[in-house]
Amino acid sequence: MFDTGEPLHHQLARDGDGKHYLVRIIPYRSAGEDIDGVVVTMVDVTQLAEAEAHKQVLISELNHRVKNILLVVTAIVKRTMQRTSSTEAFQSAFDGRMGALGRAYGLLSDEVWKEVSIREIFAGELKPFGPETFKLEGEDLYLKPQLGLSFAMVAHELATNATKYGALSKEHGTIDVSWRSEGNRLLVEWRERGGPSVSEPTSSGFGLELLRGEIEYRLQGKLETKFDPAGLVVSFSIPFER
């Protein structure tokens, strides 16, 4: 610096208080253009440093999510093709599932890919049927991104099934969704009322397979379905940390 007379900038490592500082050393000259000394300043750049670190995390997270979502889309395409008998049926089922993923991504992007509300996920799937058709009851809990995406798929499949075969297929059918945290687990119950009489199916469709895949495989949880004649009841629990 003293050879060239150019200012020097250097960012210090985070200190014990979590602060980042930028050190600026600027030479000052005499009337003869000789360097007589320097001015040293320290600027708190903690917010900028944290923003840059967060940006790098977001980029890594996005790369990871893109790879994951491509795998999910591929699985959905294959399974939907296996379970539908016509191009029209495939398009309807596929569009619905992609819409659920899109809504979940929208919620996550609104929160800058931090966390997403359980209430907003279920509300997003059920609002189109009218506020009188559902009741949501639970703590104000938020899910991490990957958990939120899987939750969105679960909510969509439950709503789709209710639309085709359950409570939402009838004019006065209703859905009650409740959740709570208990220890290190999240417990959720989906209960339908006012739909057609329910009986246990002889074979499981793609919707139930997807539920099991998301809850038991991806989320390492436990799923229980009760085919009560009064209405389907789906209960599941998954590992959860606040």
Kindly state whether residues 40 and 112 are assigned to the same domain: no
Count CB-CB contacts under 10 A for residue 70: 10
Q: What's 122's domain CATH number?
A: 3.30.565.10
Would you say residue 118 lies in a domain?
yes
Kindly state whether residues 18 and 136 are assigned to the same domain: no
Phi, psi values for residue 192, rounded to 5°: -105, 145
Kindly state whether residues 90 and 177 are assigned to the same domain: yes
Kindly state whether residues 232 and 115 are assigned to the same domain: yes
- Owner of token pair 């969509």: 156
The parent domain of residue 197 ranges over 60-239
pLDDT tens for the chain, 242 residues long, are 456 667 777 776 777 777 877 777 777 777 666 777 777 777 777 787 777 777 776 676 666 656 655 655 665 576 567 666 788 877 777 777 677 666 666 666 655 556 788 998 898 888 877 888 899 999 999 988 778 877 887 888 888 888 888 898 888 899 999 999 999 999 999 999 998 888 887 766 656 777 887 788 878 899 999 989 999 999 999 998 87
- Quote the pLDDT of residue 107: 63
- Quote the pLDDT of residue 182: 92
Q: Are 97 and 156 in contact (CB under 8 A)?
A: yes
Kindly state whether residues 102 and 211 are assigned to the same domain: yes
- 215: tokens are 């809850």
- Quote the pLDDT of residue 175: 94
Kindly state whether residues 26 and 77 are assigned to the same domain: no
Kindly state whether residues 20 and 72 are assigned to the same domain: no
Q: pTM for this structure?
A: 0.60
- 61: tokens are 């997270």
Dihedral-angle region of residue 21 (phi above 0 means left; psi in -120 to 50 means alpha; beta otherwise): beta
* Total domain count, the chain: 2
- Quote the pLDDT of residue 180: 95
Nearest to 209, CA basis, from 78, 29, 52: 78
